[in-house]
With several copies, the nearest count.
Chain A
Amino acid sequence: MPGTNGSAPSGTQVTFLEAIKQAMFEEMERDPAVILMGEDVGVYGGAFKTSEGILERFGWERVIDTPISESAMIGAACGMSYLGLRPIVEMQFIDFIVCAFNQITNFVAKGHYLWNAPAPMVVRGPSGGGVHGGPFHSANPEMYFVHTPGLKVIYPSTPYDAKGLLKAAVRDNNPVLFFEHKFLYRRIKGELPAGDYTVPIGKAVVRRQGKHLTIISYAAMTHTSLEAGEALAKEGIEAEVVDLRTLLPLDEETILNSVKKTNKCLVVHEDTKTGGIAGEIAAILCEKAFGDLDGPLMRVTSLDTPVPYAPTLEEYFLPNAKKIFSAAKELARY
């Protein structure tokens, strides 16, 4: 836990969660139009303590503990944004975002297109599995929103990106959904620069250089893919690992560049298989890099089931480094 202003001295390793807290602190200091709203975000500091100390610093007007009313929060944030505020709305778990699905996909997403009303707001919350949260506290709902024009969708994998992308999201004039993989909250640390910085929305990044195949992933699975990449390297297979970071808009350029270089593509996502983003990437590759593919596009994803509760089941349900390793090895043989 850093000083009251939320930023750590440079050179310190901070957690993913801390990076998010810093982004909120700094954006709220920078711009009084930024406010925070959600269940238990104030006095309690958020279910995961992501907003600890923010009420103390910014007061009751800017940190709003809401009733259990996801549609009301999202709707109110949208209304606030029309007067020039830039609300951040926390879903206590991202699973509950579906309780405001109509507000988000119809009101928030369509306003700029239909009547020229930008809605600068961020909806963020803890997502993803691997911590035995069970079927209603482990959601990866990204594709519902990737399929909704008018939204931007971010799903970072490192503290640096989390902070820089959350800041960019707050400053963006469009509604941005920001998913925070809760498995990373306290497990992943990184060094943050001292000053203000943002990470551009819509840009993927190559996390590992390679030449034999491309593994495309995001969020927690980036780390799992990198782990598989190390194991593959020991067998002489150099996998290039692309971290998408933003899912909408998708960075086609980085994807295409990497696949044109390696000529093989494996997509890894924690989201369930059917209708996951691997499909969209497959379509893009088929359309724009058809001649460059030397092997089938492959997918390593979660099963097409709800997220089961028991550790044995959840482990089987989720992708892991071993599954990625096997798939990559098979793909490399082409």
Chain B
Amino acid sequence: MKKELTRQQYLDLYYYMRLNRAVEEMMVKLFRQNKIVGGLYSSLGQEAISVGTAYALEKKDWLAPMIRNIGALLVKGVRPRDVFMQHMAKYDSPTKGKDGTSHFGDLDNLHIVSPISMLGDLIPVMTGVAMAGRYLGQRIVAMTWIGDGGSSTGVFHEGLNFAAVQKAPFVLILENNLWAYSTPVRKQVPLENLADRAKAYGIESYIVDGNNVLAMYSTAKEAVEQARAGEGPILIEAKTFRRMGHAQHDPAEYVPKEMRAYWEARDPIALYEKFLTGENLLDAKGRKEIEEKINTLLAKERDFAENSPLPPPEFAETGVYCTGDDCHKIRAKWERPIAEVTPPRSSVEAVWTVPGFGSGKGSGGAHAPIHFGDTQPAETKPAEAGKSAVQAPAKAAAKKTVKAVPASASRKARR
């Protein structure tokens, strides 16, 4: 992030934020015309997060969106028509009408995993994507998003803990927009900074102004490269606000007016425009051009979407199972010698080495790697779990939320 962005990059970020907003504005119109099937979610005011973070990914990297990450899909290369058609349940949509909203993926080209509605479930799934990429030698990073509300799910915990144990190249963006449907964040999570969730897994975390696209981008970039370098998963908390209701049907009267006003004054696109203008990266003409480009594109994309048919009824019957090679040729893309992971090359001793205590299961002090035998060095920072027990009371004093055991009791412990 030290290096400044190119002019093109600065403008890309602007373009995608505008595109994100324009796509969603057009969908609101379609919704009012009753052309959207089911609910419609909005990321108004959160565009900097989707765009800034997804822009930090390389083409080979993987992402999985949540409901408010249309912007990330657009950055990754999804066409607006696909977004429209998903919401209109059209036959030419990525899921051919079988699912809606941002529920679609692309395994082969864009490397997008489809979400399901159940919050948090993408976290272990993207951990698996990250682990598989590493195993295949692809040096990819996997990214997904979660809400303040979603961070209360059990699968958030299981997934992030597993990613941390495995040091998976995985970046999780926690969009703290202060509300989960009608529930304010402090009824959801008793923390001021949700980044503190990371402390339960010993992983790195960042807190970023979610309405600042440059901050989002640069932080995500740093995190992505850290993860790629093998430093393990990273949690980024983006502080922001959900400007619309949970979905179109929700007037969100439970949100204090003053709160909404406060955040409306901090619109991420307006803030970024000010910056671009101040840095002479954008003037009225440039802005006009971008607007026209987007308008022209979206009119075409919407027309395409509107003209696409609904799926034929009998299509409902098809596709529950993959029928084999004729349906999908499943091939792992190896970017390392397969011989590295096939016998007898990878024979190891099945022992645990516990720092300070040698190793178990017979073979004595052998230094079997704990983490990944062949591709990763054994962990060098010893956890010293065993030893820490006796030193615990002293160490504990340094922690903020951990109280030291009363000295008398701990003295007794050590006699």
Contact = CB atoms under 8 A, between A and B. Distances in A.
A40 B316 CA distance: 33
Contacts of A305: 316-317, 319-320
B129 A40 contact: no
A194 interface: no
B311 interface: yes
A183 interface: no
B176 to A, nearest CB: 14
Contacts of A149: 320
Given A61-B341, A75-B159, A135 B99 contact: yes
B388 interface: no
Interface in B111-128: 113-114, 116-119, 121, 123-128
A256 interface: no
A284 interface: no
Interface in B352-400: 352, 360-361, 369-375
Given A76-B127, A134-B100, A173-B324, A309 B95 contact: yes
A312 B125 contact: no
Interface stretch (B8-16, B42-50, B342-350): B342-350
Contacts of B350: 42-43, 45, 55-56
Contact of A309 (B38, B125, B319, B327): B38
A150 to B, nearest CB: 5
Given A32-B338, A309-B97, A61 B372 contact: yes
A112 B155 contact: no
A149 B318 CA distance: 12
Given A75-B128, A80-B132, A59 B373 contact: yes
Q: How many interface residues does chain A have, given as a range?
A: 35 or more
B132 A85 contact: yes
Interface stretch (B183-191, B233-241, B407-415): B183-191
A56 B348 contact: yes
A115 B95 contact: yes
Contacts, number: 317
B333 interface: yes
B40 interface: no
A85 B135 contact: yes
Interface string B80-115: 000000000111001101111101110100000110
Contact of A78 (B37, B97, B125): B125
B313 A312 contact: yes
Interface centre among B94, B117, B118, B317 (most CB of A within 10 A): B118
B127 A134 contact: no
Nearest to A313: B316
B281 interface: no
B128 A43 contact: no
A40 B254 CA distance: 11
A112 B321 CA distance: 6
Contact of A102 (B99, B121, B313, B374): B121
Contacts of A39: 180-181, 183
A114 B316 CA distance: 10
A174 interface: yes
A62 interface: yes
Interface string A145-182: 00001101000000000000000000001100000000
A2 interface: no
A286 interface: no
A113 B128 contact: no
B193 interface: no
B375 A61 contact: yes
Contact of B89 (A59, A78, A310): A310
A260 interface: no
Contacts of A62: 135, 341, 346
B127 A67 contact: no
A206 interface: no
A303 B313 CA distance: 12
Interface in B149-173: 149-150, 152-155, 158-159, 161-162, 165-166
A103 B37 contact: no
Contacts of B126: 79
B129 A82 contact: yes
B259 interface: no
Contacts of B181: 39-40, 44, 47, 92
Given A72-B158, A115-B104, A304 B320 contact: yes
A117 interface: yes
Interface residues of B, number: 100
A72 B311 CA distance: 35
A197 interface: no
B288 to A, nearest CB: 38
B328 interface: yes
Interface centre among B123, B127, B128, B135 (most CB of A within 10 A): B128
B320 A309 contact: no
Contact of B128 (A78, A134, A150, A313): A78
B402 interface: no
Nearest to B121: A107
B252 to A, nearest CB: 9
Interface in A75-105: 75-87, 92, 95-96, 98-99, 102-103
A68 B129 contact: no
B371 A60 contact: yes
B116 A107 contact: yes
A35 B133 CA distance: 13
A43 B116 contact: no
Contacts of B323: 173
Given A32-B341, A69-B153, A136 B89 contact: no
25 contacts: A29-B342, A43-B350, A45-B350, A58-B341, A59-B346, A67-B180, A67-B189, A68-B149, A72-B159, A75-B155, A78-B124, A81-B128, A83-B133, A84-B136, A103-B121, A106-B118, A106-B121, A111-B114, A115-B99, A132-B38, A133-B38, A134-B99, A310-B310, A312-B311, A316-B314
Given A43-B351, A79-B129, A311-B89, 17 more contacts: A33-B332, A42-B350, A55-B348, A56-B349, A57-B343, A67-B187, A76-B159, A84-B331, A86-B330, A107-B121, A112-B320, A114-B98, A136-B116, A150-B321, A308-B98, A313-B89, A316-B314
Interface of B: 37-38, 89-91, 94-95, 97-101, 103-105, 107, 113-114, 116-119, 121, 123-133, 135-136, 138, 142, 149-150, 152-155, 158-159, 161-162, 165-166, 180-183, 187-189, 254, 310-317, 319-324, 327-328, 330-334, 338, 341-344, 346-352, 360-361, 369-375
